Chain A
Amino acid sequence: MTNTSISAIFDQTAEPRLATPGLNRATIFFLIVAIVGLSCGVLSFIFGHHSIYHNTREMPWGLLISTYAFWAITSTGLCIYAAMSHVFGGTRMGIISNRMVWMSIICIMAAFATIGVEIASPHRMLIYNVLSPNPTSNIWWMGTLYGLAVGCMIIEFAGIVTGLVRVALIVGIFAAIAEVLANSCLGGVFATLPARPYWYGAQLPIYFLTAAFLSGAAAAVLFNFLAYWLRGEKMSPTVHLGVKSAGKAMTLVLILYTVATFWRLVSFYVGGPELGRIAADALISGPLAINFWVLEVCIGLLIPIILIILSRLEDVGMMALAGLLVLIGQFVARYDLVVAGQIVPQNLGWDDLPSHFSYIPSIFEFGVIAGGIGVVAFGFLIGERVFGKTFTQKEHH
Chain B
Amino acid sequence: MKIEELEKEKNEGIENLPLEERRNFLKMGLAVTGVFLGGSVLSLTSVSHASNQSIPDTDIPTEGQYPYTKHYGMVMRQNRCVGCEKCVEACKQTNHVPDAHDAYRTAIQERRTTENGAEKREFRPVLCNHCNRPPCVRVCPTKATYKDPETGIVVMDYAKCIGCKTCMAACPYNARYFNAEKHAIDKCNFCIDTRLAEGQTETACAAACPARVRIFGNLKDKSTEIYRLLHTGDTKIWVLRPDTGALPNVFYMNA
Q: B42 in the interface, Cβ–Cβ < 8 Å? A: yes
Most chain A CB within 10 A, of B124, B163, B177, is at: B163
- Say yes or no: B141 contacts A195, CB within 8 Å: no
Whether A119 is near chain B, meaning CB under 8 Å from some CB there, is yes
Asked if B62 is at the interface of the complex by the 8 Å CB criterion, the answer is no
Given the contacts A136-B44, A136-B138, A139-B139, A346 and B159 also touching, CB distance less than 8 Å: no
B242 to chain A, nearest CB (A): 11
Complex interface: chain A residues within 8 A of B176 (CB): 57
Interchain CA distance A195-B134 in the complex, whole Å: 11
| A125 close to B243 (CB less than 8 A) | no
Per-residue CB contact flags for chain A residues 137-164 toward chain B (1 = under 8 Å, else 0) read 1111001000000000000000000000
Tell me the bound Cα distance from A244 to B37 in angstroms: 39
> Least Cβ distance of B65 to chain A in Å?
21
Given A122-B162, A196-B169; A138-B139 close (CB under 8 Å) = yes
Task: Establish whether residues A134 and B174, one from each chain, have CB atoms under 8 Å apart when the complex forms.
Answer: no
In residues 159-180 of chain B, which contact A (Cβ within 8 Å)?
Answer: 159-166, 168-174, 176-178, 180
Compute how far the CA of A352 lies from the CA of B141 in the bound complex, rounded to whole angstroms. Answer: 35
Bound together, the chains give a CA A342 to CA B36 distance in angstroms of: 22
Q: Which residues of B contact A120 (CB under 8 A)?
A: 161-165, 178, 183-184
Which residue in chain B gives the minimum CB-CB distance to A56?
Answer: B102
- Is B152 an interface residue when CB atoms closer than 8 A count as contact? no
Chain B residues near A351 (CB-CB < 8 A): 109-111
Which residue of B164, B170, B172, B176 has the most chain A CB atoms within 10 A of its CB atom? B164
Could you say which residues of chain A place their CB within 8 Å of the CB of B33?
192, 194
> Does the CB pair B141–A139 fall under 8 Å?
yes
Give chain A residues whose Cβ lies under 8 Å from the Cβ of B241: 195, 346
Interface size class of B (residues with CB under 8 A): 35 or more
When the two chains form their complex, are residues B142 and A128 in contact, meaning their CB atoms are under 8 A apart? yes
Tell whether A50 is near chain B: CB-to-CB under 8 Å: yes
Q: Write the A111-141 contact mask toward B (1 if CB under 8 angstroms, else 0).
A: 0000000011110110011001111111110
Cβ of A362 to closest chain B Cβ, rounded Å: 15
Known contacts A125-B141, A350-B111; A132 and B160 CB within 8 A of each other = yes
Instruction: Tell yes or no: B246 within 8 A of A by CB.
Output: yes
Question: Does residue A58 face the partner (Cβ distance < 8 Å to B)?
Answer: yes
Contacts of A255 in B (CB 8 A): none
* A317, CB-defined interface residue at 8 Å: no
Q: Are A140 and B141 in contact (CB under 8 A)?
A: yes
Known contacts A133-B142, A350-B110: A128-B162 contact under CB 8 Å: yes
1/0 contact string of A24-61 vs chain B (CB within 8 Å): 00000000000000000000000011100001111011
Report how far A59 CA is from B91 CA in the complex, Å. Answer: 23
CA distance A281 to B183 in the complex (A): 35
- Binary interface profile of B, 42-54, with partner A (CB < 8 Å = 1, else 0)? 1010000000000
- Docked complex Cα distance between A58 and B178 (Å): 11
Q: Do A136 and B159 touch (CB < 8 A)? A: no
Query: Given A139-B141, A193-B139, is A60 in contact with B165 using a C-beta cutoff of 8 Å?
Result: yes
Q: What string of 1s and 0s marks CB contacts (under 8 Å) between A221-252 and chain B?
A: 00000000000000000000000000000000
Enumerate B222-243 residues with CB–CB distance to A below 8 Å: 241, 243
B135 within 8 A of A: yes
Q: For A199, give the chain B residue with the smallest CB separation.
A: B169
What residues of B have a CB within 8 angstroms of the CB of A128 in the complex? 141-144, 160, 162
Once A133-B142, A134-B141 are accepted as A-B contacts, the answer to whether A350 and B172 lie under 8 Å apart by CB is no
Judged by a CB distance under 8 angstroms, whether B29 is at the interface is: yes
Q: Does A206 contact B (CB under 8 A)?
A: no
Most buried by B among A50, A140, A195: A195
Q: Which residues of B contact A342 (CB under 8 A)?
A: 169
B-contacting residues, A322-381, CB 8 Å: 341-342, 346-347, 349-352
Residues of B within 8 A of A60 (CB): 165, 168-169, 178
Give A180-191 as 1s and 0s: 1 = Cβ < 8 Å from B's Cβ atoms. Answer: 000000000101
Which residues on B are within 8 Å of A, measured CB to CB? 29, 33, 36-37, 42, 44, 100, 102, 109-111, 124, 126, 135, 138-144, 159-166, 168-174, 176-178, 180, 183-184, 241, 243-246
- A sample of 5 inter-chain contacts (CB < 8 A) reads A125-B164, A136-B138, A138-B166, A191-B36, A194-B243
8 shortest interchain CB distances as A-B pairs = A120-B163, A195-B172, A128-B142, A140-B141, A60-B165, A350-B109, A57-B102, A125-B162
